[in-house]
Amino acid sequence: MKRGFIFFGCSLASFVELSEGARLQLVKFSDGGAVCLDGSDAGFYFGAATSNEHKDDWQIHFKGGGWCAGPEDCLARSRGRLGSSNSWGGTTLASNGIASRDCVINPDFCKFNYVEVEYCDGDSFLGDRAEPVLVGPPGKEDRLYFRGARIVESMVDKLVAKYGLQRAKNVLITGCSAGGLAAILNADVIYDLLRQHGATPQRYKVVSCSGFFPLLPNFLGQTVYGDLIKDLFELSNATTRTRCFQDLAGSDIAWHCNVAQYALSYIQAPIFLVNSAKDSWVSRCTFRALQHRGQDIQAACSAKARPGLTEHYNQFRKLILTNPTVNRPGNGAFVHTCDTHCEGAQPFFNKISLNRVTIQQAISRWWNSINEIAAAHTYAPCSDAQKDCEATCSRAPKHAARPPIDIASSTSNNAAADNDRWSEN
């Protein structure tokens, strides 16, 4: 029986304000079958280092955009820019925050070679299905390609062959939301690919912004988010390249390799998490999400979800701060309580602070440290989960309320257009 999901304005999430600076150039490729959901070429936007001092320094940033929930929804997604490259422009501006090319906002990385990986595979760059999935009536099927893992591999090949990535001295992998999850899950994969090309970076680190989506039940005790990820893991034949999957292959919980709280234990690269314990997407789109039962979803949410939010926030906070990998030397986290999502890729990432240290400053200190104890680079939120108790939360704009969207049954071109409009980056 088909499982459906209701997310409140959450098929994707929120705009990310683009930064100023020179425009990035689109590079498309399809080597080794690296294609988007609709079979069009995958690609990235590239901006060369802006100073000779940083000619061998690199930042690779994964854009986000949620996930698709089943064949029909993935088909709808394939008709927009999150599943097809046909509408991508030849140039664009970089994302903001940690991806900004503005050195006032992002002083540590603004002059690096910059790669912004377009998200078009629907599963955080993890799918690896050899044959397309056919959707539709016999004789009139559409084809869906789940090739996220190949996109990552071909991207590295292209950057080595044409742009000199193999000479990299410093490499920072970043991502926001579904791209933040991709940064976590592909952290060691990219490092291994670099080594295969002879690269020996002196410093290789990962920053995930809003990429920790907790495997927690919704307010009715249903495993809505877990069901979504499990189904997508199977549909996309998620990558066998990760150490997690190599360990859990064939088991009933192999799909946990697509969930940050489990996959992190296998990650060896130094990593820093930026997340809100009150992440607006998580609280709205997983805790308050409902399995589709034809009921008045929004009314059920407002009446029943509120009492459990505090406990949900506390559990979410604990999952991040007690994770063994987060607490390993060389790693760290910035966990706050602002009602935001993708704040690490927004211009106000240098305004939200904990103990007078902003997100930007915390990342800078961690980036410039060498294998220090995690406690030196862990910033925990204040204890009151009832409100935005960090005073600097007022500097971050609230996310506007949006109408309910059933992402599992939206198959029209209008739905795909809405996905583009509300894409999270």
State pLDDT tens for residues 131-186: 999 999 999 999 999 999 999 999 999 999 999 999 999 999 999 999 999 999 99
**Residue 17 pLDDT > 90:** no
**pLDDT (0 to 100) of residue 308:** 77
Report the pLDDT averaged over residues 279-288: 82
Question: Under DSSP, is residue 286 helix (H, G, I), strand (E, B) or coil?
Answer: helix
Report the pLDDT averaged over residues 286-294: 56
DSSP state of 156: H
Concatenate the DSSP letters of all residues of 210-257 into one string.
S--------TTS--HHHHHHHHHHHHHT--S-SHHHHHHTTSTTGGGG
More confident residue, 382 or 339: 339
**pLDDT (0 to 100) of residue 8:** 34
Which positions ≥6 away from 341 have C-beta within 8 Å?
13, 14, 177, 210, 276, 279, 280, 281, 282, 399, 424
**Residue 282 pLDDT > 60:** yes
Work out the pLDDT band at 302, boundaries 50, 70, 90.
Answer: low
**pLDDT (0 to 100) of residue 50:** 95
Q: Which residue has the tokens 């939206």?
A: 410
CA R_g for the chain = 20
**Residue 390 pLDDT > 70:** no
Strand 133-135 to 142-144 pairing:
antiparallel
Work out the pLDDT band at 414, boundaries 50, 70, 90.
Answer: very low
**Residue 419 pLDDT > 90:** no
